[in-house]
Amino acid sequence: MKKIKIKTPAKLNLVLEILGKRKDGFHEIRSIMQAINLFDFLSVETEDNDAEIIKISGNNPQIPYDENNIAFKAAKMFLKTADIKNQKVNIHIEKNIPVAAGLAGGSSNAAGTLWGINKLYGNPLSADQLHFLASELGSDVNFCLTGGTCQATSRGEKIQRINTPDLKFLIVKPSKLFISAKEAYQKYSGSPIKSEIKNFDTMKKVILEKTTNIKTVAKLLNNDLEKAILQAYPEINKVKQLIIKAGCQNAIMSGSGPTVFGIYENDIKIDFSKDSYDVFKAVSINYGVKES
């Protein structure tokens, strides 16, 4: 039996711009994505078997532990592509990243599964092959493989690394609110109100400077999905106000939400109800999925 433990980081969108609807049903986007030190942990075991068996388990009842789990799909896709037969694969997911939160927890698990199983089998697939599989699994999976700070284009799967700024984040998710990416984009498509803020190029320029101006980065935070989501879930605006009151400079929804984050420089006052909110302090990191 071979074993590996992988830590899979969460993602924030410093900027998320939606450029239009594509023919394939996805949206064309431009985003600057940032990996943070909030991790799920995957324990992966493989061994020879009479037939292919993939088993998923975990500590969070909010996600499926069957063929509908994206880690299951990643493992199955890897074995088929690498032409590896008659294997038993066990994947245990220790969930710390909130579910359906706009933090790419599921995508990060899929990326960790691809990377970890590939390493267990002696890296039969190249980085390009892993990224192809990642793009088939979901729009954020490629970023989660790469990590750090990236500009993401197309539907999010085309990734280019840029340098990682030194940033501190306060991250807050309403505990009982869950929003899938599908729901968020549907609400965006159905909303007559569209953001006219386009900060992608300016944010990238600021981040590429040798000494990143944290106040400027905070000011440039933007998410085109936010207005449509706030219409449906006004409680998210309350979270934004609480984060700013805590001492952060600006507050914005990450990805498809409902998680909101702010950037801070000095001490902040965390005074949130533990029954109502999941609250994290995190920092930017310059890597993606890796062995724990």
Q: Dump pLDDT digits (tens) for 201-211.
A: 999 999 998 77
Please spell the DSSP secondary structure of 264-282, one letter per residue: ESS-------TTTEEEEEE
What pLDDT is attached to residue 16? 97
> Domains (ranges, CATH) in the chain?
2-161 (3.30.230.10), 168-283 (3.30.70.890)
E strands, the chain, where? Answer: 2-21, 27-48, 53-58, 87-94, 149-153, 158-162, 168-174, 222-223, 249-253, 260-264, 277-283, 290-291
Return the DSSP state at 192. S
Closest CA to 217 of 9, 13, 10: 13
What pLDDT is attached to residue 196? 79
Q: What is the 3-state secondary structure (H, E, C) of 104-157?
A: CHHHHHHHHHHHHHHHHCCCCCCHHHHHHHHHHHCCCHHHHHHCCEEEEECCCC
CA gap 235, 58 in Å, rounded: 30
The backbone torsions φ and ψ at residue 243, rounded to the nearest 5 degrees and listed phi first, read -65, -40
With contact defined as beta carbons under 8 Å apart, do 252 and 269 qualify?
Answer: no
What pLDDT is attached to residue 91? 98
Structure tokens at 209: 């400077």
Residue whose entry in the numeric block shows the structure tokens 């990191």: 285
Residues involved in catalysis: 11, 140
What pLDDT is attached to residue 267? 83
Closest CA to 106 of 152, 56, 76, 141: 141
Closest CA to 159 of 26, 2, 71, 35: 35
Taking the C-alpha atoms of 115, 119, 120 and 125 in order, what is their torsion angle to the nearest 10 degrees?
80
Q: pLDDT tens, position by position, for the chain (292 residues)?
A: 999 999 999 999 999 999 988 888 889 999 999 999 999 999 999 999 999 999 999 999 999 999 999 999 999 999 999 999 999 999 999 999 999 999 999 999 999 999 999 999 999 999 999 999 999 999 999 999 999 999 999 999 999 999 999 999 999 999 999 999 999 999 999 888 777 788 999 999 999 987 778 999 999 999 999 999 999 999 999 999 999 999 998 999 999 999 999 999 988 888 888 889 999 999 999 999 999 9
What pLDDT is attached to residue 236? 95
What pLDDT is attached to residue 138? 94
What pLDDT is attached to residue 272? 84
What pLDDT is attached to residue 126? 98
Residue type, 134: A
How long a stretch of residues is the chain?
A: 292
With contact defined as beta carbons under 8 Å apart, do 177 and 258 qualify?
Answer: yes
Residue whose entry in the numeric block shows the structure tokens 């007559």: 192
With contact defined as beta carbons under 8 Å apart, do 254 and 13 qualify?
Answer: yes
What pLDDT is attached to residue 102? 95
Angle at CA of residue 35, ends 207 and 77, nearest 5°: 130
